[in-house]
Structure 1
Amino acid sequence: MSFVVEVQPIQSDVKNQSIGIDLGMKTLAVMSNGEKAEIPIYKKLDRKARKLQRKLARQLKDSQRRNVTRIKIAKLHNPIADTRKDFMHKVSTKIVKQNQVIILEDLKVSEMLNNRKLSRAISQQEWREFRTLCEAKSEKFGREFQVISRWEPTSQVCADCGFKWGKTDLSIRSLLCMSCGTEQDRDENGVKIIEKVGMGNRHDSKRVQRVCQTSNG
């Protein structure tokens, strides 16, 4: 049997017209309105789980002790997963309820996981799950959900004047624009660019960028 049900979007007042969101590893989401969604701390449980996983790797397959260790690991992962899921639901609901347009940057997570130094931290963030929640709730509340191309130079352009300073090392967290003299936090600057591109201001930024480069020359 199959049913077709028409669901009307839930209407609610919004505080902001749009919001850009940049997903990170230390902070789950940096938002263009200045807010940050800090990741819940569960290092103690994670440390215990990793210790048991090393123990599991040394134990004989199909042994009773290995089975006991496997159950202990599963019990440790349950509260971690529940905490992360609850956190993501609360953050995504708040974002969607308060903003008419939600804009994220497309991330190629599968390629990023090839970095062995960052793969564990990236997989724990569950960026795909967060994006799915925001997209589904946007439809439910009648919001507009957008994803900009990952090739946009969000970390290479000044959000205030549009001047392009080029690629910088990830270790550099603060940048001084050589055009307007504004000191920009890397994450906060990037998320402002995400919002501008998502709202269709890309051409304006490029126009300002050309003016700045000409005046500096």
Structure 2
Amino acid sequence: MSCLCEFEPTLLPVTDKKAGIDVGIKDLFVTSDGFKSGNPRHTAQHATKLAKYQRRLAKKKFGSKNRLKAKRNVARVHAKISDCRSDNLHKLSRKLINENQVVCAENLAVKNMIKNPTLAKHIADASWGEFTRQLEYKANWAGRTYVEIDRFFPSSKRCNGCGFVKANMPLDVRSWECPECGATHDRDVNAARNILAAGLAVLAFGENVSGDGISVSLSCSR
């Protein structure tokens, strides 16, 4: 069932809180203040039931009523996964918008990333594109500011304290120590803080701000 309605969005009270978010697979997002959302992994939760109904469907005769029933069972599991994922994303995006005046994130090319056969299933389940879409329109509704920075900005490799940038940072490195200032960084929290700093620079200096050859831009503001 689908319902269509009209409403007037209510602007939220202005707050001085700001957040940078780094999206991921282990945690759907990590904020610049250290909050880690976790990842319920809805597809994995229902994988056993889905596989069972898919096996039953594969054994049914084409055009039979039993095949139609089996097909409906598979569709119900897919719908359950989709509904659970959507509900979780709405709750998380609403929490971020309610609590922060400015939310900064990376402009990721999810369609390109999902071509990786190893991570494709996990990236699809995380739904980063839908999550950032929700942040954008909810920010507009609430009078908040949502900023996207360039995906090539070295948020994970840059020390948020002194600005030192490492030459490379493999995905399996989850924490590292800056050789310049000696600070120890959690990879995701450090990235979120750099994303916040870059996003605030966009707001302060305009549409195009460059750092180390990387440009960041304002995606949505109100």
* TM-score calculated relative to the size of structure 2: 0.81
Q: How far did 1:71 drift?
A: 1.1
Shift of 1:56: 3.6
- Counterpart residue number, 2:163: 162
Aligned residues of 2:41 and 2:126 also touching (Cα < 8 A): no
On the 8 A contact 1:138/1:145 being kept in 2, the answer is yes
Counterpart code for 1:113:
I
Q: 1:44 to 1:197 in 2, by over 3 A?
A: closer
**For the structure 1 residues 54 and 106, does the alpha-carbon distance in structure 2 shift closer, same or farther, using more than 3 Å as the test?**
farther
CA contact (8 A) 2:176 2:187 kept: yes
* Residue aligning to 1:107: 108
- Aligned in 2, Cα 1:179/1:54: closer, same or farther, shift over 3 Å? farther
What CA distance in whole angstroms lies between the structure 2 residues aligned with 1:136 and 1:99? 14
- Aligned partner letter, 1:27: D
- Give the distance between the partners of 1:78 and 1:6, measured in 2 at CA: 27
1:21 maps onto 2:21 in alignment: yes
Greater CA drift, 60-69 or 184-193: 60-69
CA RMSD of aligned residues (A): 2.5
Q: Distance in 2 between matches of 1:6 and 1:69?
A: 40
Q: Does 1:69 align with 2:70?
A: yes
For the Cα contact (< 8 Å) 2:19–2:104, is it kept in 1? yes
Cα distance change, pair 58–15 in 1 and its aligned pair in 2 (3 A): farther
CA distance in 2 between counterparts of 1:6 and 1:73 reads 35
Q: Offset at 1:155?
A: 1.4
- Report the 3-state secondary structure (helix = DSSP H, G, I; strand = E; otherwise coil) of the residue aligned with 1:122: helix
Structure 1 pair 20–94 and aligned structure 2 pair: CA distance change class (3 A): same
The verdict on how the C-alpha distance between 1:106 and 1:204 changes in structure 2, with shifts beyond 3 A counting, is: closer
CA contact (8 A) 2:160 2:190 kept: yes
- The match for 2:220 is none
Q: Relative to 1, partners in 2 of residues 1:91 and 1:60: Cα closer, same or farther, differing over 3 Å?
A: same
- In structure 2, the partner of 1:215 is none
CA distance in structure 1 between the partners assigned to 2:91 and 2:62 by the alignment: 40
Q: Secondary structure at the match of 1:184?
A: strand
How many residues end up aligned between the 2 structures? 201
Question: 1:127-159 CA deviation, whole Å, 9 max, x = no partner?
Answer: 111111111110111011110000101111111
Structure 2: runs of 5+ lacking an equivalent = 1-5, 213-222
Which residue of 1 is the match for residue 173 of structure 2? 172
User: Which structure has greater helix proportion?
Assistant: 1
Is the contact between residue 19 and residue 99 of structure 1 (CA under 8 Å) also seen in structure 2?
Answer: yes
SS of structure 2 residue aligned to 1:157: coil
CA contact 2:177–2:185 (8 Å) conserved in 1 = yes
Shift in Å at residue 58 of structure 1?
5.6
Unmatched 5+ residue regions in structure 1? 207-217
Distance, in Å, in 1 between the alignment partners of 2:155 and 2:59 is 45
Q: What amino acid is the match of 2:165?
A: K
Match of residue 212 from structure 1:
none
How many Å separate the matches in 2 of 1:176 and 1:64?
A: 62
Looking at structure 2, the residues matched to 48 and 175 of structure 1 have their Cα atoms a distance apart, in angstroms, of 40
Taking structure 1 as the reference length, the TM-score comes to: 0.82
Shift of residue 54, structure 1, vs aligned partner: 4.8
- Of 101-110 and 165-174, more deviation after overlay is shown by 165-174
What's 2:39 paired with?
39
Q: Deviations over 1:3-37 (max 9, x none)?
A: xx995651324251x21011111211111111121
Q: Identity of aligned pairs, percent? A: 33
| Letter of the 1:71 counterpart | R
